[in-house]
Chain A
Amino acid sequence: MSRLLMFVLRRVLVTIPTLIVMSIVVFLIIRLVPGDPVRTMLGFRATEANVAELRHQLGLDQSLFTQYLAWTGDLLRGDLGTDIVSHAPLSELLMQRLPVTLELAGLSMLLAVVAGVPLGVWAATGGPWSRRLTEGFVVFGVSVPDFWLGIMLVLVFSGTLMLLPPTGYVPFVDDPAANLRYMTLPVLTLATGEAAYILRTTRGAIASVMGRPFVTFLRAKGISERRIVFGHALRNAGPSIVTVVGIQVGVLLGGAIIIETLFALPGVGRLVVTGITQRNYPTVQVGVLAIATIFILVSLITDLVVGWLDPRVADGMMK
């Protein structure tokens, strides 16, 4: 079997315990609520019969281990339970919400990479001004809380210039142009901070490659600086950039929770936040499960990409 295939197999297998630990954490959410979670959910006006019924419906009257097995069994069959406020099946609710979060996170990361990588290259290879300007952008991106940046963007682009809608959402399939108009400010908000991180990583990776002997050799061979940067340095910086993208997806998904609330986007993050305020635990569980699963899968994919870009990483993991 080829080494690469072994690496892929091993990395996929490592994901399984992570998924199990995550599922236990999510499973425990409702069980760790102090006092009686069913009472808390239904409020003090509910009758004993109502409480007993919901407790039975959630399987809380069985042993913890039986509950976990039943719960994961249901999950694997696609039965995510029901929302206790709207009584809608949670699988349906998730299917409506997930595309919004995926679009928001995907577009934000895309914009962050498209802006951050070239700026990082510019920062590492340009003159003193490029260094100063990009450093200013990094400090700005890292220190400004994303939701406040979002509020300020609304103030400028919706309040003053009246160019873009402040809040709201239209599904992409219904009206792509309107969808993108609504997505512009949320995506810009989330991408700014991420672009700063990607810029910093790219700058560091390129700078360290440019000092290596093979670059001196390429220069001595008379290869243009442009080809050295884009053909060699960027290629060597690739794994570091992809690794940071993978880590930052977690930050981005966390940020999306706040940004969805700020821009009234009907995504999974907003579902979780409303779920918490309504003490709607099954919905909170499904939302957390969905976001955490995306995060774990993205980590898997980025690790595989890094292993493919840099076989030494794959070899290192095999040892």
Chain B
Amino acid sequence: MSGRAIMARSATPSGRRPMSASTRYILAGGAILAVLGIAAAAAPLIAPYDPESMAVREVMGVPSLLHPFGSDVLGRDVLSRVIYGLRASLLISISAVAASLVVAIPAGVLAGYFGRWVDSLISRTLDMILVLPAMLLAITLIAILGPGSVVAAIAIAVIYLPILARVMRTSTLVVTRNEYVEGSRARGAGHLRVLMTHVIPNALGPVIVQASVLSAFAMQLEAGLSFLGLGTQPPTPSLGGMLSDGRDVLTQAPWVEIFPGLAIVVAVLGFSFLGEGLRRAFDPRGVAE
């Protein structure tokens, strides 16, 4: 339903939009994320070694055929750890953004559709979250709830809540002004029916775009928190944690620091390309910005 609604909109008069560019971005981002996602999901099948098993003889081994990304201070295979770290980082980032969407979509729809005091209540409450800069808020929540991957995901979800809800609110406002919404109300449809069949499906585009863009930042945030020792806890491999562990041997074994960082950059690029492509296709009016 929502797919058809969005398709119908993107085919409207401004057909001069370079569809090819948006398709190219979506394909590039989608391909990157598909490769990383499959690797992460199938980590136990793909990773050549157990990410936590140590080998004294392999300590800080130079990248070779046996260990394409080398091995770390404890002789653990860096490639296997990157694959498992990617699994943890992707899981946290995606579930954080998904959790944020679950709250932000209803909040934004209610605020945008009903307006007045409902809007004021929801918007002012969410504004309170913006009082602290994002990273500081994440750290504050971790200070309260204690470090860990679940708390890191919750913290990221809370940070994104006001942003996603605001985008949903704006796009709901835009959609609600359409005549077919008023027409549906006039024919006697209840609020719930109007919301479910007309407003939400047509208002979702920009929020999906924004969610994709925010997933890129979520990857960086998660890595940053794990780097500080506040996210995923050892011995579970995480990309940020690996970067923190390898700092002391940076000059002797730079591969321990280079590959996890590259993995983050590639994942961030995947989400950014996907977001950019989706924006060009589904949010030509720039509601998500």
Query: Roughly how many angstroms separate A25 CA and B251 CA in the complex, as a whole number?
Result: 42
Closest Cβ of chain A to B160, distance in Å, is 14
Residues in A whose Cβ lies below 8 Å from that of B146: 34
B268 interface residue (CB < 8 Å to A): yes
Report chain A residues within 8 Å CB of B216: 143
**Chain B residue at minimal CB-CB distance from A285:** B143
Stretch in contact with the other chain, from A50-58, A70-78, A289-297, A308-316: A289-297
Could you tell me if A148 and B261 are in contact, using CB atoms closer than 8 angstroms?
A: yes
Pairwise interchain contact B230-A258, C-beta atoms closer than 8 A: no
- Using Cβ atoms and an 8 Å threshold, which residues of chain B touch A160? 251
Q: B228–A18 contact, CB under 8 A? A: no
Residues of B contacting A295 in the complex (Cβ-Cβ under 8 angstroms): 132-133, 136
Contact of A251 among B134, B145, B269 (CB under 8 A): B134
Query: Chain B residues near A273 (CB, 8 Å)?
Result: 139, 228-230
The 8 Å CB contact of B144, one of A33, A155, A159, A272, is: A33
Q: In chain B, what residue has the closest Cβ to A20? A: B131
- Could you mark each residue 264-284 of chain A with 1 if its beta carbon is under 8 Å from any beta carbon of chain B, else 0? 000000001101110001001
Contacts of A261 in B (CB 8 A): 227-228
Do A29 and B131 have beta carbons less than 8 Å apart?
no
Interface residues on A, range: 35 or more
Mask: chain B, 256-277; 1 = CB below 8 Å from A; 0 = not: 0110010011001100100000
What is the chain A residue whose CB lies nearest that of B223? A145
Chain B contributes a number of interface residues (CB within 8 A of A) equal to 36
Contact flag A143-B265 (CB < 8 Å), given A151-B243, A288-B140? yes
Contacts of B131 in A (CB 8 A): 18, 21-22, 25, 292, 296
Q: Does B177 contact A (CB under 8 A)?
A: no
Number of A-B contacts (CB under 8 A): 121
Query: Which residues of the other chain, A, contact B250 by a CB distance below 8 angstroms?
Result: 151, 154-155, 159, 166
Q: Does A32 contact B (CB under 8 A)?
A: yes
B260, closest chain A residue (CB): A148
A15 to chain B, nearest CB (A): 11
A residues 232-247 near B (Cβ < 8 Å) are none
Report whether A147 and B243 are in contact in the complex, using a CB–CB cutoff of 8 Å.
yes
User: Complex: how many Å from CA A159 to CA B236?
Assistant: 29
Query: Which residues does chain A contribute within 8 Å of B258, judged by CB atoms?
Result: 152
CA distance A166 to B258 in the complex (A): 17
Q: How far is the CB of A188 from chain B (nearest CB, A)?
A: 16
B128 at the interface (CB under 8 A from A): yes
**B104-156, CB < 8 A from A:** 128, 131-136, 139-140, 142-147
With CB as the reference atom, state the residue of chain B lying closest to A193: B220
Q: How far is the CB of B277 from chain A (nearest CB, A)?
A: 14
Contact of A145 among B140, B224, B230 (CB under 8 A): B224
Contacts of B75 in A (CB 8 A): none
A257 touches B140 (CB 8 A): no
Chain B interface residues (CB < 8 Å from chain A): 128, 131-136, 139-140, 142-147, 216, 220, 223-224, 227-230, 243, 247, 250-251, 254, 257-258, 261, 264-265, 268-269, 272
27 A/B residue pairs, CB under 8 Å, sorted by A: A21-B128, A22-B131, A25-B132, A25-B140, A26-B140, A34-B146, A139-B269, A143-B269, A144-B261, A144-B268, A145-B223, A148-B243, A148-B264, A151-B257, A253-B133, A254-B133, A254-B136, A257-B139, A272-B139, A273-B229, A276-B142, A277-B229, A281-B143, A284-B140, A288-B136, A288-B140, A288-B143
Please name the 6 residue pairs, one residue from A and one from B, whose CB atoms are nearest each other, closest first.
A254-B135, A250-B133, A148-B261, A159-B251, A143-B268, A145-B220
Given A33-B144, A257-B228, A273-B229, 8 more A-B residue pairs with CB atoms under 8 Å apart are: A18-B131, A29-B144, A142-B272, A144-B261, A145-B264, A145-B265, A250-B136, A257-B135
